[in-house]
Structure 1
Amino acid sequence: MARWLMLLVLGLAKSSFAFPMPGQATPQKPKATPAKKTMELSPEALKAQMEAGAEEARKKRASWAATDSALPPRDEARGSILRLELEGGITQSSSEYVLQGIQKAKEQRAEALVIVLDTPGGLLQATREMVSAFLASPVPIVVWVGPGGARAGSAGVFITMAAHVAAMAPGTNIGAAHPVSGMGGDIEGEMDRKVTNDTAAWARSIATLRGRNAAWADQAVRSSDSVPESEAEDLAVIDMVVSSEKELMEKLHGMVVGVEGERYRLVTQGVPVETIEMTGAQKLVQFMADPNLAYILFLVGMFGIFLEFKVPGLIIPGVVGAVCLALVLGVQVMPVNWFAVLLIVLACVCFVAEIYVTSFGALTALGVFCLVSGSYLLFDVPGSDFRVDHGLIWGAAAGFTLLAVSIGTLLMRSFKQSPLSGREAMAGLVVDVYRAIPTGGEGKVIMQGTFWNAVSEVPVAAGAQVRVLEMDGLTARVEPFGDEDSDHGSMMTEDVEDIADAPDVAPDSEI
């Protein structure tokens, strides 16, 4: 069985792993593509390119400022200022939250929509939806990466650059927007060039539209360039560095923004700020947008389901397992690789089968292989920054291996032990004959405090000792034992004499 399972896994994995199959030539490592060679710049050339991009962005802003100086100040704001808090991975739930905020700001004719951002990245599709809404918003969008310690990683780069006003707090950083696979590595081959070129062109387009450094945006995608807030301001990636939201409101007052072809000055001093909270469902989904948490819930779910199949009627493991799997797979917070799900399911099958099949550890080894492989591939889908921590994967593999080995060791010990109860435990006992056993007939013996029918190939007199060979239903097959001592706790002759006057009772009747 283990051999066939191994062949099945290797056949399924043939197109997903870069190791040779039996009889297959060793695959060659992919050669470096010409496109990547052209991106290798010296530090001096790269610095010059960044400075040139910053200078171009400043010139564009200066041209806007030349016309903005003629704009009259505004005395009153159009409405209140709405505020959103976007923290954690960028998912469809967070995209829905931002789109709802933009729609509410539009309906209330808000003066501005402020988004407090702290994200390591997320889904590319959800990011595109948010950026598209930013660019078409009739209300100015202000993104502040803060407070200190926050970051605008990967998807956060596009969200920050697409805002009408981009600000960061001291002690924050922005960058590292190169598309990666769900395993955390580079996408290989032609697909890497396609995805990288497409994303880099999108980043340059957003930066150019908002008067930001398009050269840096390109490098953030191609080379995962990341910079702190002060350098981001010097490179014209953001508009300002502010330490608090109060300072942000002070600097926004009188600042000129362009919305739907119209440029006007913002009014933020003394304007009330209304925070829009996520709904309960959105908070739950956003909480689940942690690949490590999702991975743990997935393993707990699989273990609960298999435990319910193994011991029917427990109910609680099955319910807990179903809920965990529903949260991970049903809610679809993060896209999963279904081949990886199959591998993890197969791993659980192997661990359970190890209990019933003598494979000498082969099923456990196969289960560990499937578990590790499936875990690395679980969120390996295009356009996703989510990945499971490698330490967690190996920790889970070690835990399941230890569990399987422990169960196997306990089972081996139980197989070697003599039975302690039941009919199997009666074989080998030395007992006394209560009623003589004739040849071809039945007598009675006293065994473990009860009377049992007994047969023997030779006649045995009452009071003699016999050894139980085996049990056939309620009848013991015995043989004469002799006068030697027994280690099996036989009854002595004097004990028989004490009960000699006992009535003839049916087998299994207690004395």
Structure 2
Amino acid sequence: MKLAAACLVGGGILAAVGLAGVGSAAAQSDGVTDAGLAVVVEVTGLLDPVMAELIEDSVNDVADAGATLLVFRVDSNRSVVSDQRLGELAESIAASPVPIAVWVGPNGSSLEGKVAQLFAVADEVGIAPGTSVGNLGASLPMLAEHPVAWAKQELIRDQKLGWRELISQGVIACEPRTIDDLRDRYNEAGIPFDPETVRVPPKVEQCVAPLIGDFLVDLDHLGFASNLVNVDGQPRLEPVTQVQFRGLSLAHQLFHTVASPPVAYLLLTIGMGLMLFEFFTAGIGVAGVLGAVLFILAGYGMSVLPHNTWALALLAASMVAFGIDIQTSVPRFWTGAGMVMFAAGTWWLYDGVSMSWIPMVVMTGAVAVAMFSGMPSMVRTRFSTPTIGRDWMVGELGEVVEDVSPDGVVRIRGALWRARCNRATPVTAGDQVRVVEIDGLWLEVEPLEGAARDYRERRR
């Protein structure tokens, strides 16, 4: 690789290593060096109340902490807080006495919608390769009064552009360095400059920051100090300003995670399933308590996320439908109706926020297996323990509901049970049968007409 490329963007490797060490030192010391303090705050996922509080607290705290620069590392494409709240955050960012910069990264990150409008009021915005920005939507009145970092904001009003298009179309403001700028850097680092071997990187390479360290060392105009040093004959930017990384506390991280669409959906489904399971067991156990806790956490997530109330009601109604058939130990009409309601509620649960099809398919499949097989088997097993037993059923008369040939379903005292016939001759629906034996989860039955004579005599 040519020396100029190493000077401009290749220095990120050393900068990142240096920042890791400096960041660790910053975590161990609250003091601020003469070179200043830069605070890096991570903003990822939905912009919910927890993340909004982190942004506001960070802006308010950096000045008191003596920081000289605040940087937000952003990967967010939707806000679930009110427009008024966004306006308050924008006012805090715009009025901050400490310069604020935003880096969209790392590779694969995006900045969209109202979140992109919010962070556009920062002093500078940088991007990493592989990122995208756009779909701003209609301008929010409380944000329009502030100057924005996007050079050509209308280009990303209704579309999302990749990092190359953002640079080539001038959305990201960037002044590429010339050959004279490179000469000055080489001279400052004390390295001989040969214009024949030094290549000036294209604008698309100069205007991206692959790592947060690359972005920081290029913020000298905002107060981030760095020195040019000679490393193996190549000029490298070495950070001088102290760096401190901050994020959500463990408790706040929990609530931020719960307020994500797939997590809230999974917690809601599992919580309702566990409480339904506990309903058909004797007493209150771990499943019921755990289900209640998960249900409460899901309730918080749903209160934050925009959702369709009718779809949420469908999910709750599906559990009631499942319960109707579970008590008979055989899945029938209500189990099928419950699955239809559950699938519909899952598909239309959220209003305006997306959820991957993976959790929807996995959870729908898991619920189908549990309700068609697992829960009925559990109920039959639970109420056939030595304590409760089913010996009373031996000798009971019943009616065939589904042909027993050799397996089927019979109704005994109004309840449906899986049954097997103890002879080769099938028993058709509507025939009367007698229970002759209990075999695990199955009932051994024989037709009332034509049953073995000696067996009946023994029963007498």
- Measured against the shorter chain, the TM-score band is 0.5 to 0.7
Per-residue deviation at 1:228?
1.7
Root mean square deviation, CA, Å: 3.7
Aligned residue number for residue 254 of structure 1: 221
Aligned 8 A contact 1:142 1:165 in 2: yes
Deviation at 1:100, TM superposition (A): 0.8
**2:316 is aligned with 1:377:** no
Relative to 1, partners in 2 of residues 1:326 and 1:315: Cα closer, same or farther, differing over 3 Å? same
Q: In structure 1, list runs of 5 or more residues that go unmatched.
A: 1-75, 179-198, 256-265, 415-419, 429-467, 470-483, 492-511
Structure 2 residue 184 is matched with structure 1 residue 227 = no
1:129 Cα deviation (Å)?
4.4
| Alignment length (residue pairs) | 320
Q: Between the two proteins, what is the percent identity of the paired residues? A: 21
Counterpart check, 1:298 vs 2:268: yes
Residues 112-139 of structure 1 deviation map (CA, whole Å, 9 limit, x = unaligned):
1011112233325265543332223222
| TM-score normalized by the length of structure 2 | 0.60
Alignment TM-score, normalising by the size of structure 1: 0.55
- Check conservation: 1:81, 1:272, Cα contact below 8 A: yes
User: Once the two structures are superposed, what CA deviation does each residue of 1:258-283 show, in whole Å capped at 9, x if it has no partner?
Assistant: xxxxxxxx343322112223212211
- Report SS of the residue matched to 1:254: helix
AA in 2 matched with 1:367: G
Aligned positions of 1:60-459 closer than 5 A: 79-125=36-82, 127-178=86-137, 199-200=138-139, 205=144, 209-210=148-149, 212-217=151-156, 219=157, 223=158, 225-239=159-173, 240-254=207-221, 266-269=223-226, 270-330=240-300, 332-356=303-327, 361-380=332-351, 386-406=353-373, 422-426=391-395
CA distance in 2, matches of 1:412, 1:91: 41
Whole-angstrom CA distance in 1 between matches of 2:115 and 2:144 = 16
Q: Quick check: which has more Rg, 1 or 2?
A: 1
CA offsets 1:425-465 (integer angstroms, 9 cap, x no match): 2579xxxxxxxxxxxxxxxxxxxxxxxxxxxxxxxxxxxxx
How far apart are residue 156 of structure 1 and its match? 4.0
Amino acid at match of 2:155: W
How far apart, CA to CA, are the structure 1 residues paired with 2:331 and 2:106?
Answer: 56
The alpha-carbon deviation at position 396 of structure 1 amounts to 3.0
Query: 2:256 & 2:287 partners in 1: Cα distance?
Result: 25
**For 1:241, what is the secondary structure of its paired residue?**
coil
Q: Which stretches in structure 2 are left out of the alignment for 5+ residues? A: 1-32, 174-206, 227-239, 382-388, 398-433, 436-451
- CA positional deviation for 1:378: 2.6
Q: What is the rounded CA distance, in whole Å, between the counterparts of 1:237 and 1:77 in structure 2?
A: 35
Report if aligned partners of 1:355, 1:407 keep a CA contact under 8 Å in 2.
no
**Structure 1: how far apart are the matches of 2:55 and 2:143?**
23
For residues 398 and 351 of structure 1, the distance between their equivalents in structure 2, rounded to whole angstroms, comes to: 15
Residues 325-374 of structure 1, C-alpha deviation per residue, up to 9 Å, x if partnerless?
11111364534443332221111000111234699843223212321232
